[in-house]
Amino acid sequence: MSWLLAFVGFAALIILHEAGHFFAAKAVGMRVERFSLFFPPLIARKKRGETEYAIGSIPLGGYVKITGMNPAEDIPPEHAHRAYYRQPVWKRIVVIGAGPLVNIVLAFVILAGVFMARGPVEPPLVVGAVQAGTPAQGKLQEGDKVLAVDGKRLTGSYQDQISAVTKGVNSHKDRGAVSFTVDRGGREVTITGNTFYDPETKRNRFGFGYDQEASRQDVGLFDSAGVAVDQMWVVTSTTVSHIAQIFKAEKREELGSVVGGYEQTRQTIKENDAVLTFYVLALISLSLGVINLFPFLPLDGGHIFWALAEKVRGKAIPFSVMERAGFVGFALVLMLFVIGLSNDIDRLQNGGFGIR
């Protein structure tokens, strides 16, 4: 059942994205020929008025076909005045930008709701379960607040501090014991111990987890909106940074594809945690919106870029120029997809996505 619910969640994100284009096009007077969930070949279609509503057989997205999206297409004279490339630049930007905008606004609304239902996790890191038979047993205790690793005080966000602990522990492969400074009942205690290699996670560990609920903060309506914006900024800046540094191996390995997003959604649904499921869907919706705004055809951002270029130039950009740029953009998008898909397949073969 989890795969079906994950599929429905993804389909909803696609429908809402395309609905943004659809309703914006209708609002500014453009002619919409087709509204399709998924890509051809079509398996179902129904025409109402001037628009055909369809379902494709390839579940990798969706599209809205607007008359005149290709300047070279043959348009009946009675529809020429409503063609896409016959419209002012501002109308084209509104129509193209509406899709990503829906994804971004949807992500904000969901995240704000998520943080109202379950507040954000903030430092300090609180020790949760201590694994029996590991170096942590008898040294760390549930409820300890981790303050420093190897004498280095932890700073930054909750996730930054987890990363610092993971990196500190993993650095002790051949360099002796790791030390932790913790707050235990109001007094600082330093403990030391050797690490061990965990073949499942492929890194050195000490043998404890974190109690996120002990670090969770309660927030109200306005605070939850602010936390949602902060979270969106972190995800957006991280996404842009990773794609901009695609030629760095460590950044390239962190990219994912729609397959990974689907699998993460499915795993959270299996956990029977509705809040976590909505959180993952919000991050996927935000990523869809942000990535679609990259200035490469055939992405929405590519259409916006060329519309703005036309405005600056003062006359239409030759279609041949956009077509050549489109080939380059398509190659870049395909490269990102292939890299992300390869990473996701590797994650699926090596223990999944670590939702918990």
Q: What residues act catalytically?
A: 18
Structure tokens at 118: 């379950």
3 state SS of 355? coil
Beta strands in the chain (DSSP E): 32-48, 51-66, 125-130, 145-149, 152-153, 178-184, 187-193, 196-198, 203-205, 208-210
Return the residue matching tokens 């073949």. 199
Amino acid at 266: R
Q: How many residues does the chain have?
A: 356
The CA-CA-CA angle for residues 102, 337, 294, to 5°, reads 45
For residue 277, CA distances in Å to 170, 178, 312 come to 30, 36, 43
What is the spatial distance between Cα 119 and Cα 38, in angstroms, rounded to a whole number? 35
Nearest to 294 by CA among 116, 142, 100, 159: 100
- Alpha-carbon 73 to chain mean position: 35
Give yes or no for a contact between 104 and 293, defined as CB atoms under 8 angstroms apart: no
DSSP letter (8 states) at residue 30 = P
What is the spatial distance between Cα 348 and Cα 273, in angstroms, rounded to a whole number? 21
Return the residue matching tokens 């016959």. 86
Give yes or no for a contact between 301 and 294, defined as CB atoms under 8 angstroms apart: yes
Q: Rg for the chain (alpha carbons), in Å?
A: 25
Structure tokens at 217: 């903060």
3 state SS of 203? strand
Structure tokens at 129: 């379960």
Amino acid at 200: E
For residue 142, CA distances in Å to 106, 130, 187, 209, 314 come to 38, 7, 15, 9, 66
